[in-house]
A and B are shown apart, each in its own frame.
Chain A
């Protein structure tokens, strides 16, 4: 069966510091991968998605970037964090076609 791992679970970072969040999927090949952010009390905002290695689509222009260096690895990065980057970051995967997405446990990011 497929599993998704996301780490770290919580992170506290100062404003202006860099960020790297990692997500890996096991048990499947060539999954679609997604990064979402959920602000407190708000809905899910799609940040990036990827349909293959090196293929990244950005949904929201901001100071974040994503990369997919391997088939089942998805990385969310920032060079300089802003206060507004605080939130709950979720990685998800799906098979191609008309399939649901499945979420990792998320990273709760606080910016001080």
Chain B
């Protein structure tokens, strides 16, 4: 079974620090990867999409992809208390339907 693995955390970082969230995937055929943020009791919200090896930056967020190592990461610079949430990593599964395989998420806590 194709899987996406994440450390459940919680990952605690001080306000203003860089938070580093990591994800590995088992499906070598996966070509597309997504990071979602989920606040407690709310639905997931798309933060970043990444399709090519390397880095992709959007504001305070940087997604990194290494297909050879089957590794995806999300860096959050200048972390704010409002970044405290669970971050879900997802890979697009091979096969039809544009299905995604989700990790169980990493809980991030940004402390004052």
Contact = CB atoms under 8 A, between A and B. Distances in A.
Q: Do A and B bind each other?
A: yes
Interface of A: 32, 34, 42-44, 46, 49, 51, 57, 90, 94, 96-106, 108
13 contacts: A32-B98, A43-B103, A43-B105, A44-B44, A44-B102, A51-B96, A90-B43, A97-B98, A98-B92, A98-B98, A100-B34, A101-B100, A106-B42
A57 B96 CA distance: 10
A97 B98 CA distance: 7
Contacts of A49: 97, 99
Contacts, number: 49
Nearest to B34: A100
Given A43-B103, A43-B105, A106 B43 contact: yes
Interface of B: 31-32, 34, 41-46, 49, 51, 88, 90, 92, 96-100, 102-105
A87 B14 CA distance: 32
A105 B43 contact: yes
Contacts of B46: 100-102
